């Protein structure tokens, strides 16, 4: 946060390890609803994709590697993805994304 500038807002989610030989962690780019609150046969009502402007950055905590991975929500919305993955061996703790967003404000 910098004075007189809107703060960067971040949605933090815990990455889920995908044990299918890929060595990846995944988070959904959206919000789920409890299945008891909606029609369990209609998947569209159980899940809502995030929209541009809801927050600035999606952050995934990779507990097993003790690191964060950051994505700009705008870039994810433009790509139209419903989930993002991070693979072991790729760089993480890309805090520079927050600096880049801060400089644009």
Amino acid 26: pLDDT: 95
Count how many residues are written for the chain.
Answer: 105
State pTM to two decimals: 0.84
pLDDT category, 1, cuts 50, 70, 90?
A: low
Q: What would the pLDDT profile of 26-36 be if each residue is shown by its tens digit?
A: 999 998 776 55
Residue 24: strand pairing partners = 18, 87
CA 61 to chain centroid: 9
- 42-84 confidence digits (pLDDT tens): 655 677 899 999 999 999 999 999 999 999 999 999 999 889 9
Residue 105's pLDDT is what?
74
pLDDT of the residue at 43: 59
pLDDT at 102: 86
Contact between 57 and 77 (Cβ < 8 Å): no
Whole-number pLDDT of residue 32:
78
């Amino acid at each position: 946060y910098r004075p007189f500038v809107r703060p960067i807002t971040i949605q933090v989610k815990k990455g889920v390890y995908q044990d299918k030989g890929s060595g990846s962690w995944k988070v959904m780019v959206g919000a789920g609803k409890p299945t008891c609150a909606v029609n369990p046969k209609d998947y569209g009502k159980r899940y809502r994709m995030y929209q541009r402007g809801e927050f600035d950055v999606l952050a995934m905590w990779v507990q097993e590697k003790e690191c964060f991975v950051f994505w700009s929500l705008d870039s994810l919305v433009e790509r139209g993805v419903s989930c993002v993955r991070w693979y072991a061996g790729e760089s993480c703790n890309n805090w520079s994304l927050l600096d880049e967003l801060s400089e644009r404000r």
